[in-house]
Amino acid sequence: MKRITIYLTVIAAIITINSCKKLDVPVESQYVKSNFPVTQADYIALLGTMYSNLSSNYAVPYWRMQELSTDEAIIPARDGNYDDGGQYRQLHYHTWTFDHPNVIGIWQWGFGGINNCNRLINLVKASGSSTALKTSGIAEITAMRDLYYFFMMDLYGNVPIINTFPVNDPPSTQSRANVFKFIETDLLNVIQQLPSKTNNAATNTLQYGRPTKEMAFALLEKMYLNAEVYTGTQRYNDAVAMADSVMKNQNYSLDAKYRDIFLPNNGPQIKETVFAIPYDQQIPGNQFTRFGFFYYLASYYGMNVGLSIAMSTTHEFYNRFNLPGDTRTNTWLVGPQYVPDGNGGFTSQPAYYPGTTTQIVITPDLILVPPKPMDVGNTIASQSEGIRSLKYYPDPTIIQATRLNGNDVPVFRLADVMLMKAEAILRGATATTVNGQLQTPLYLVNQVRTRAGAAPAASVDLPSLLDERARELSWEGWRRNDLIRFGQFEVDYPLANDPLSMNKDVSRRLYPIPSTEIKLNPKLTQNPGY
């Protein structure tokens, strides 16, 4: 939601952050104690770099690491196009190395964000601002630092802990369990100083895209649900407690229409958003229309830009969208295509390939054409292979200069909170009552299903819960996290005519520490298997 939160990033013109090729990269600022901002509006501007850095990589390289390594998304080459040095097929086959561009780039992005948060904490502590502004400002920065740390812990596992600025001594690698404890303690120390979502639209607009109590609760719920993966000790009852802390705030509710959550004009009016990353159509924007839509349909959606034909999903993943009446199925493009009706549906008028009377047909299977690796060819027919996404609905005002969408990207939302609670109970936690309702796994899953227009389930178990998460949270950046927790990250989904197969070594559940970082800091220890 571009117009409402653009003020958060204007400070990027004042403060410049380098790409962080070192953990102690310096950050220059014009602020000193004598001229430090003192009003709430000043603070909002000052903290903008936390958010501009977050948006810069979340919806492209970070997302690719979480999704292209699973069955949920794939970028095949098309007669050599979109191969980009093999980086996408390496994610698909789990054959990445410590010099993979995303492995390096996201490490630098994450620790650049952490380093900047530490710098901002120092500035706020040294300022002459009121105690209340200092307290709330430090809480906001700390929660953002913990979000960055969660991303790094989830992807790389054993990472250094840095909570000072500048970094005087190279930090050593810490165990994943230690990083988990650091994040947990950090959040619990500041959570009461964070604001809550209210029933006041103006207040919610001001808080949108910034940490709230409920964002911290949702982040802790995600950590506790995965605690056995991260630390070796399960924390399912704690996950339920965090879910309840979110749901007790009745200012959150499931939106009536699933489609609304992902429209180009989404924003603080979405009732279930717990934390989202705002985007506009400038770089960095979100990639989903540019790379995941279908080029030959662009004009039918009112766009006059050159889009990609690259990214799709696998038919194995799409096959889970099998519930009658489920509106989430309409977030995919497959089979004969029709002119959209402007309301998220379709007319009976066929959509044709440009300059022809041949109806566009998107076929689900990606059929490789050896010998080029993971390559489907580049004919009209092969370009039409692969199920395309319509989830982040195309914006007809998309501009040629960037070809990027302005749809905000949710990180945490209420439906995920509910499904995580259902899973925690299925794994052994005790069901609890919230706002007068006993919330069993079946109740929670059926709340999500009913909103989507699907028939209620008669029962729910862990396999069906994983399928429900796939339907509800597709392309939201959680598939790798889910598959690892369910022990299914190594399940192969072979492509037709593919002589290669996935590397099933469980060491691939963690990405390697980049070779560039180990050269700079010999105290870092490489993850096993690399």
279-315, pLDDT tens digit by residue? 988 767 788 888 899 999 999 998 888 888 889 999 9
Question: What's the confidence (pLDDT) of residue 16?
Answer: 33
Last residue in a domain, options 389, 415, 447: 389
Higher pLDDT, 447 or 22: 447
Is residue 112 a contact partner of residue 17, using CB atoms and an 8 Å limit? Answer: yes
Q: Do 25 and 106 lie in a common domain?
A: yes
Cα 277 to Cα 8, 51, 120, 488: the distances in Å are 11, 8, 20, 28
Is residue 176 situated within a structural domain? Answer: no
- pLDDT at 35 (0 to 100): 54
% of residues, the chain, pLDDT over 90: 81
The residues with which 75 forms a beta bridge, in sequence order, are none
| 6 has pLDDT over 50 | no
d(CA 454, CA 465): 15
Same domain, 163 and 109: yes
Out of 360, 389, 418, pick the residue that ends a domain: 389
Cis ω on the peptide bond leading into residue 166 (within 30° of 0)? yes
What is the C-alpha separation between 128 and 476, in angstroms, rounded?
41
**Which tens digits make up the pLDDT trace of 244-283?**
999 999 999 999 999 999 999 999 999 999 999 999 887 6
Identify any residues that bridge with 410 across adjacent strands, giving them in sequence order: 276
* pLDDT confidence of residue 528: 96
Helix (H) or strand (E) holding 362: strand 361-362
Task: Give how far the C-alpha of residue 205 lies from the chain's centroid of Cα atoms, to the nearest Å.
Answer: 21
d(C-alpha 426, C-alpha 403), whole Å = 43
Cα distance between residue 502 and residue 405, in whole Å: 32
pLDDT at residue number 23: 52
Residues 260 and 211 in one domain: yes
Please give the tally of structural domains in the chain.
Answer: 3
pLDDT at position 12: 34
Considering only 13-17, 375-379, 414-418, which range has the smallest mean pLDDT?
13-17
Distances (CA, A) of 209 to 115, 280, 299: 20, 13, 32
Instruction: Give burial (CB, 10 Å; 0-12/13-18/19+) of 463.
Output: exposed
345 vs 259: CA distance, rounded Å: 10
Q: Quote the pTM value.
A: 0.93
SS3 274: strand
Is 516 domain-assigned?
yes
Number of CB atoms found within 10 A of residue 83's CB: 18
Domain identity same for 405 and 385: no
What is the average pLDDT across 152-179? 95
Locate 7 and state its tokens.
Answer: 């003020």
pLDDT of residue 9: 35
Distance separating alpha carbons of residues 387 and 269, to the nearest angstrom: 30
Distances (CA, A) of 104 to 41, 50, 152, 516: 35, 20, 12, 8
What's residue 25's pLDDT?
43
232 lies in the same domain as 161: no
Q: Are residues 210 and 250 in the same domain?
A: yes
* Residue 38 domain-assigned (yes or no): yes
- Distances in Å between the alpha carbon of 82 and those of 58, 76, 399? 20, 7, 22
Does the structure show a pLDDT above 70 at 11?
no
The 3-class secondary structure across 459-520, one letter per residue, is CCCHHHHHHHHHHHHCCCCCHHHHHHHCCCCCCCCCCECCCCCCCCCHHHHCCCCCHHHHHH
The Cα–Cα gap between 244 and 417 comes to 9
pLDDT at 36: 62
Domain annotation covers residue 269: yes
Cα separation of 273 and 209, whole Å? 9
Pair (137, 235) in one structural domain: no
Q: What is the pLDDT of residues 185-204, one digit of tens each?
A: 999 999 999 999 999 999 99
pLDDT of 38 reads 67
The chain-wide mean pLDDT, for the chain, equals 91
pLDDT (tens digit per residue) in 18-51: 333 345 444 444 555 555 666 777 777 889 999 9
Q: Retrieve residue 203's tokens.
A: 């207040």
188 in any annotated domain = no
* Whether residue 404 is found in the same domain as residue 383: no
pLDDT digits (tens, 9 = 90+) for 55-66: 999 999 999 999
Q: Compute the distance between CA of residue 302 and CA of residue 132 in angstroms, rounded to an integer.
A: 49
465 in the same domain as 370: no
22 found inside a domain? yes
Indicate if 318 and 277 belong to the same structural domain: no
- Domain range for residue 101? 1-171+500-530
Q: What is the pLDDT of residue 367?
A: 97
pLDDT tens for each residue of 457-485: 999 999 999 999 999 999 999 999 999 99
The tokens for 416 are 């995920």
- Domain presence at residue 72: yes
Burial of 36 (0-12, 13-18, 19+ CB in 10 A): middle
CA pair distance 492, 508, nearest whole angstrom: 13
Record the tokens describing residue 177, joined without a space: 């369990």
Is 184 inside a domain boundary? no
Q: What pLDDT is stored for residue 21 in this prediction? A: 39
Model pLDDT, residue 283: 67
Same domain, 45 and 128: yes
What CATH number has the domain bearing residue 119?
1.25.40.390
My answer on whether 159 and 241 are in the same domain is no
Gap between the terminal Cα atoms of the chain: 40
135-151 CB burial, b ≥16 within 10 A, e <16: ebbbbbbbbbbbbbbbb
The residue out of 362, 389, 416 marking a domain boundary is: 389
Nearest CA among 529, 509, 527, 510 for reference residue 518: 527
Q: Find the CATH number of the domain harbouring 266.
A: 1.25.40.10
Closest by CA to 63, choosing from 207, 241, 279, 229, is: 279
Measured in degrees and rounded to the nearest 5, phi and psi for residue 72 equal: -80, -30
